[in-house]
Structure 1
Amino acid sequence: MRYNFYPGPSKIYPQVAGYFEQAMESGILERNHRSSAFQDLFSETRTLLKSKLNIPLNYAIAMVSSATECWEIIAQSFIERKSYHFFNGAFGEKWWSYTQKIRLQSEAISFGIDELPKLPTIVKNAELLAFTHNETSNGTSIDENFQKEVRTQFPNSLISYDATSSMAGYEFDWDLGDIWYASVQKCFGLPAGMALMVVSPKAIERAVEINESNHYNSFHFILQNVRNNQTHYTPNVANIYLLNRLMQSVENISAIHRNLKERKALFFAQLEKLQNLSSLVHSTKFQSDTVFCLAGEQEFIQKLKREAEREGIILGNGYGQWKENTIRIANFPAIPNQHYIDLIKFLSHF
């Protein structure tokens, strides 16, 4: 048996193979994306997403090529002067670094993996605050209480969350953010090649006010197409179809997140018994529910990965400054519970 715990692209739901056959048989993959058949698929998929992920009905859902493309869309279409980016890992820093290429004044505020971002230094009328909800590079996450604090302190600012490794795994309070985005190759359990943007009425109003339309992926252009149940480019119809079928079959996000939290508790209870591995993130308050980052001596980590590979177990490499002394383990919904029981046995024996 092959076990895939890589934090993206990660394990694909097994039923996806059958869904792809159905897509081929249905003929939808050969239909024009301006056709009524595609429009029906696109509309139904967005309705299913709102139902299964508990997204407010007045939020818009756009489909684009990748989460990294969202960095560009946000910088172009939702910011006129500057944004403030809070990060404690590689992906949050990359988001800021790319935004700065477009908005030179954008500022970075870094913080540690066992602490919260510092807010008092930020101006109250900030255009946009950018947070990485779930930092895939180090296994940290921003909890809901802090999100509420941000919303309370900055009621007039747009708040954006990179939810690449948490959307479809976490049950969000969507009202605490205005722009959420994620690729589908992580918690959604689908092949790579598509991303979702979930956008509040407040953010839409801001984009309309800015009215930026200089680029093919300007949000103003994207939104016009969404309102016609279309995409602004020839889309990944296969992934949209797979997402549609998957949303019909999976549980509501509240049940999915509950299972992931139970699995996390089981995993970390067993981890405490191991001598050579520990959580990189010490405080449970900041530990992600969907990405576990485990630290150990560099030589031990290398041996562990080699032995895991021989046993058919794919572990995630460390990333950024933790590349050599950590492994990362995805706790994504498509991975069966039994795989974690088997992983714990392997780690214990090793």
Structure 2
Amino acid sequence: MPQTYFTPGPAELYPTFYKHLQTAMDEQIGSISHRSQRFRDLYKFADEQLRTLLTIPATHGIFFTGSASEVWERMLLNCVEFESFHLVNGSFSQKFYDYANALHKHALVFEKPFGEGFDAAEIQVPEYAEVVCLAHNETSSGVQMKTSEIHKLKRKYPKKLFCVDMVSSAPYPDLDFSIIDSAFFSVQKAFGMPAGLGVWIASEACLTKAERLQKNDSLTIGAHHTLPTLWKHYKTFETPATPNVLFIYLLGKIAEDFNRIGIDTIRKQTEEKAKMIYKFIDNSDAFEAFVKQERHRSQTVVVATTQKPSAEVIAGAKAANMVVGSGYGKFKESQIRIANFPATSADQVAALLEQLTN
């Protein structure tokens, strides 16, 4: 009997993935040239579907990378001359900060303990910070920053570029791209695909900054997939180098499926399933919600502290053909993480919660 994956990525494959993959094989999508009209058409299709799904305006380009982690480096090289500012409250927001240091940027940080969230009112962005780097959803700790708080902070600092990690939440967050400059995600989480494709959304303001930095002989904005190069090829729906053509095709098809359902419905379903999970945890003697402040609790990655070793909980679920994630890093043995992505239904969530009562 097949297993149902509630892991936070790679995660359960979206139900239509198999059908789209078969069509791609039948049409030999994996063999077409990235300089062909067929590829331009499928890039354009994916672009159109993502624009509709996430309400991305014409001022922003949509680019494909090897992973979401690659975007940390691309964003820092292309949009930071001297100074970046990072909101850190988990392992992945920490890695964005670590990348800045590795690239010899002057990286400043406002840090919260693992499991705690941010509100706009408490954040002071340093005067000379060029880019504000933050996570909408911290995959490691199950903390989410409300989009209303992100927007509030951006309006307070309108001249700063804002880059939002929505790796384990897209397409759930309703980011306002009329004010948010950049965001990125990967496909192996809420889009229900295998790993191997990152998506970078960046504004013309980011491009302008990259073009200015490119003229500075004492700086490098990279030798591979620079924003000006990506954008130049994007104008004709091409890529600088051979991309993951198959996954771009599949992403376009799954985004189309999401659009048929409607993003408002997907968001509502996500919140209803999250409510089920948190209600179960809050009423359970065996589990405790790791994120104490309800307004900071993730709707897409629920983290619970377990009374018994998490390995026992995970083994029990696996025996019932359900796979949940372990805690991240030092919390591996004392927490579980339950992904709440569109690929799993309310009935599947209910079945998991029933199993966790045993």
2:184 paired residue among 178, 181, 185: 181
CA contact (8 A) 2:74 2:222 kept: no
The AA in structure 2 aligned to 1:9 is P
Aligned residue among 232, 240, 244 for 1:236: 244
- Structure 2 unpaired stretches of 5+: 215-219
Structure 1 residue 143 corresponds to structure 2 residue 146: yes
Q: What is the DSSP-based 3-state SS (H/G/I as helix, E as strand, rest coil) of the residue aligned with 1:235? A: coil
CA distance in 1, matches of 2:238, 2:100: 27
Instruction: Give the 3-state SS of the residue equivalent to 1:148 in structure 2.
Output: helix
Matched to 1:183, the amino acid is S
Q: What is the rounded CA distance, in whole Å, between the counterparts of 1:11 and 1:190 in structure 2?
A: 8
Specify the alignment match of 1:21 in structure 2. 22
Supply the distance in 1 between the matched residues of 2:104 and 2:164 (Cα, whole angstroms).
18
Q: Does 1:105 align with 2:114?
A: no
SS at match of 1:169: coil
Superposed structure 1 runs of 4+ greater than 4 Å apart: none
Amino acid at match of 1:222: L
Of the structure 1 ranges 144-153 and 191-200, higher mean CA displacement relative to structure 2 is found in: 144-153
SS in structure 2 at match of 1:116: coil
Q: Report the TM-score when normalising by structure 1.
A: 0.95
**In 1, Cα distance between the equivalents of 2:37 and 2:79?**
31
Does the 8 A contact of 1:171 with 1:253 survive in 2? no
Equivalent residue in structure 2 for 1:172, among 172, 175, 189: 175
What is the one-letter code of the residue matched to 2:83?
K
Query: What does residue 262 of structure 2 align with?
Result: 252
Question: Tell me, which stretches of 5 or more residues in structure 1 are unaligned?
Answer: none
- The yes-or-no answer on 1:128 pairing with 2:131 is yes
Residue type of the alignment partner of 1:109: F
Q: How does 1:322-333 map to 2 (within 5 A)?
A: 322-333=331-342
2:217 is matched with none
Identity across aligned pairs (percent)?
Answer: 27
Residue 268 of structure 1: aligned partner = 278
CA deviation after TM superposition for structure 1 residue 151, in Å: 0.8
Q: Is the 8 A contact 2:311 2:326 kept in 1?
A: no
Q: How does 1:1-350 map to 2 (within 5 A)?
A: 1=1, 2-112=3-113, 113-116=115-118, 118-120=122-124, 122-211=125-214, 214-250=222-258, 251-297=261-307, 299-348=308-357, 350=358
User: Counterpart of 2:148 in 1: which secondary structure?
Assistant: helix
Task: Let me know the Cα RMSD of the aligned residues.
Answer: 1.6
What is the distance in 2 between the residues matched to 1:328 and 1:279? 10
Question: For 1:137-169, what per-residue CA distance to the aligned partner results, in whole angstroms no more than 9, with x for missing partners?
Answer: 010011123212211221101011111001123
Q: How far does residue 270 in structure 1 lie from its aligned partner after superposition? A: 2.3
What secondary structure is seen at the aligned counterpart in 2 of 1:340? helix
Q: Any conservation in 2 of the 1:133–1:141 contact (CA below 8 Å)?
A: yes
Letter in structure 1 aligned against 2:194: P
Tell me how far 1:115 sits from its aligned partner: 4.1
* Alpha-carbon displacement from aligned partner over 1:28-76 (angstroms, at most 9, x marks no partner): 3211101111111111210111012222232210011101101110111
Q: Output the TM-score relative to the length of structure 2.
A: 0.93
1:8, CA displacement in angstroms?
Answer: 0.1
Q: How has the CA–CA distance of structure 1 residues 27 and 189 changed in structure 2, closer, same or farther, with 3 Å as cutoff?
A: same
* Structure 1 counterpart SS, 2:273: helix
- Please report how far the alpha carbon of residue 214 of structure 1 lies from its aligned counterpart in structure 2 after TM superposition: 4.1
Between the two proteins, the alignment pairs up a number of residues equal to 347
Name whichever of 245-254 and 11-20 sits farther off: 245-254
Contact 1:179 1:197 in 2 (8 A): yes
